[in-house]
Structure 1
């Protein structure tokens, strides 16, 4: 018991929560942070963070919380509008070249809707609206397709053999 009360760690929902609550109990009983870290087999930095959270927000700050994905902050109407904006092409918005990069789409979303996303979430949004991340095929404008085919059939096998 802690000051005559039931120990919070006895009601822990998982191992990580138990360690955080146990660290507080040990600290309240007078144990030093370094000793708590050794006893719980964690870093001193972890103990320091847990105790800081405990002092600032109480035991609830150390409780287990199920991690849920943030819902997309773009409404369906905004997603539909984004699809239309992307169809206009990157050059329409002042970017050199027609390629939409994740960074460019991120900037577009911020400019048009005032919502900031990290790059990985932009990829998720693009997938949801039916766009895929693709690397454009870059070919020289002066490329001679017929000459390229001939070279691949005649010259490349010789070069490949001599390696």
Structure 2
């Protein structure tokens, strides 16, 4: 159950308890909120009924990408960056923005691409480790096992 649904369920339960004659303090304990919140809910309920305590639809500008388009973007990104003509298989905000525009026809700012990736797609920032190409793990292990203790002991 999402957070808004849980909050609405608490308010609806509070209404049932209002109608049952339970005190504000009792309702607050029963639904796990403070007594001031229950007093506010009771005022709203008395003025507008149960419907006044129901969730309202989200206000503000609707997202540019609906759920279907987001899934199209998810599938396209899952193919990898090279499948979309990029040299390295590495996603950047700019590259993701290009793919979003190709797949959906919608142009997003870098900030919107970031919100899409981290919010709706659930991706996180990944950074490559900076390591020398010449790095030899077996030689490093040998040095740690043999040379390092000898150096720590001293002359």
TM-score (normalizing by structure 1): 0.47
